[in-house]
């Protein structure tokens, strides 16, 4: 029994410590119930404290949203950073930029609905601030309320001579403007308004806007140069040219053949070594078949004179011929090295990298001696 009492025996210091701990626990329990009654003032949020402390009274209740949402913007001109500033999701911004690049400009605010991943909520939020400039008009400053003035729409233009900057002023996207210039640089000519429809990426809506201002000088595109003299329809109708001897200037006497096509025809003839058939003229790069059919009655042919010495020519020289690729030229020369010189056309027919049609076309240019 004495041993059991030993377990419940405390020293004086242990009894004092236990009493102090009980008092502390009681005070903590009591404070948790009394503090709500002691704290009578509502807590102040940090942002409210900053507003009340740092701003004048009438500004403290001002709208704290970004001011950018109050500014007008043109979805045809806005950059990626500007679109993101309007809280448009990154994925939607990329879609808008791709739409402008591949489809064309937004003609009216409602066109923005065509952006498939632009939510109705985002569209409704943007709609009051969308300002779309007509072709040829640009915002001088998106923060200004001054009217936008431009006289460019009142002027006509020739798509064969217009500059890139002028195309952009008419609302033509940068990529399409480059396509138009590349088409011209490669010898393309717009002979009538409708030819502009052939430009890849040019939307029908944009063409309809440009069409009233397109003026094409046919004399500058179809006619001969100024120093050749005036060529009437009657004189063009009776002219006949030798396709293997006519100069570029003589080619331009034909209706539909301007400076670009005449140069292409003569360059193609030189690379071939001459035409063996009038129909070869139709193979000239970019020459419309309708144009060839019109000039065909006025073409005649003299015998071909330039031949290819197939047993002496190098790979590089042979590959320059329009009818032979570099791979085919290398195969021909390797066959000659491995089997000896070509004795006749029958030997050449053993070149299997050439189709029968390709061999037949080359037969007019080969010389085996």
Segment 337-346 long-range contacts (CB within 8 Å, at least 24 positions apart): 341/311, 341/368, 342/310, 342/311, 342/368, 343/368, 344/368
DSSP string, 131-172: -PPPTT---S-TT--SPP---GGGS-B-TTT--HHHHHHTT-
- In percent, how much of the chain has pLDDT > 70? 72
pLDDT the model gives residue 216: 82
pLDDT the model gives residue 284: 92
308-367: CATH number: 1.10.150.280
Domain covering 228-300 assigned CATH 1.10.150.320 in the classification:
yes
* Local confidence band at 37 (pLDDT 50, 70, 90 cut-offs): low
* Local confidence band at 215 (pLDDT 50, 70, 90 cut-offs): confident
CATH of range 153-220; options 1.10.10.10, 3.40.640.10, 1.10.150.320, 3.30.70.100: 1.10.150.320
Least confident of 55-69, 231-245, 310-324: 55-69
Whole-angstrom distance, CA of residue 248 vs CA of residue 267? 9
* Local confidence band at 321 (pLDDT 50, 70, 90 cut-offs): very high
SS3 328: helix
Model confidence pTM above 0.75: no
Give residue-wise pLDDT tens across range 228-279. 333 333 333 346 889 998 899 889 889 889 999 999 999 999 999 999 999 9
- In percent, how much of the chain has pLDDT > 90? 17
Q: What is the mean pLDDT of residues 27-51?
A: 56
Give residue-wise pLDDT tens across range 185-211. 777 788 888 888 888 778 888 888 888
Pairing of strands 299-300, 366-367: unpaired
Sequence ranges of the domains in the chain: 2-30, 71-129, 153-220, 228-300, 308-367
């Amino acid at each position: 029994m004495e041993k059991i009492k030993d377990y419940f025996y405390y020293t004086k210091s242990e009894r004092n410590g236990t009493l102090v701990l009980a008092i502390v626990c009681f005070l903590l329990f009591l404070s948790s119930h009394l503090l709500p009654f002691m704290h009578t003032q509502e807590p102040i949020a940090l942002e409210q404290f900053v507003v009340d402390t740092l701003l004048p009274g009438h500004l403290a209740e001002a709208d704290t949203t970004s001011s950018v949402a109050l500014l007008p913007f043109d979805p045809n001109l806005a950059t990626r950073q500007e679109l993101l500033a309007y809280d448009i999701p990154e994925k939607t911004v990329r879609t808008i930029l791709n739409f402008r690049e591949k489809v064309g400009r937004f003609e009216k605010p409602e066109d923005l609905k065509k952006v498939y991943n632009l939510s109705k909520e985002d569209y409704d939020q943007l709609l009051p601030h969308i300002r779309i400039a007509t072709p040829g008009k640009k915002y001088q400053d998106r923060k200004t309320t001054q009217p936008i003035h431009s006289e460019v729409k009142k002027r006509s233009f020739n798509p064969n001579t217009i500059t890139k900057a002028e195309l952009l002023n008419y609302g033509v996207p940068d990529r399409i403007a480059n396509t138009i210039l590349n088409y011209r640089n490669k010898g393309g000519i717009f002979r009538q308004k409708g030819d502009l429809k052939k430009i890849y990426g040019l939307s029908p809506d944009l063409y309809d806007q440009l069409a009233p201002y397109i003026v094409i000088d046919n004399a500058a595109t179809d006619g001969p140069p100024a120093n050749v003299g005036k060529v009437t329809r009657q004189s063009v109708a009776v002219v006949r040219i030798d396709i293997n001897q006519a100069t570029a200037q003589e080619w331009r006497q034909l209706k539909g053949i301007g400076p670009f096509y005449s140069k292409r025809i003569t360059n193609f003839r030189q690379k071939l070594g001459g035409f063996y058939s009038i129909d070869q003229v139709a193979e000239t790069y970019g020459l419309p078949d309708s144009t060839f059919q019109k000039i065909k009655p006025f073409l005649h042919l003299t015998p071909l004179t330039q031949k290819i010495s197939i047993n002496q020519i190098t790979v590089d020289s042979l590959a320059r011929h329009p009818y032979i690729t570099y791979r085919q030229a290398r195969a021909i020369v390797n066959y000659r090295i491995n089997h000896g010189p070509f004795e006749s056309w029958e030997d050449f027919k053993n070149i299997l990298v050439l189709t029968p049609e390709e061999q037949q076309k080359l037969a007019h240019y080969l010389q085996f001696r």
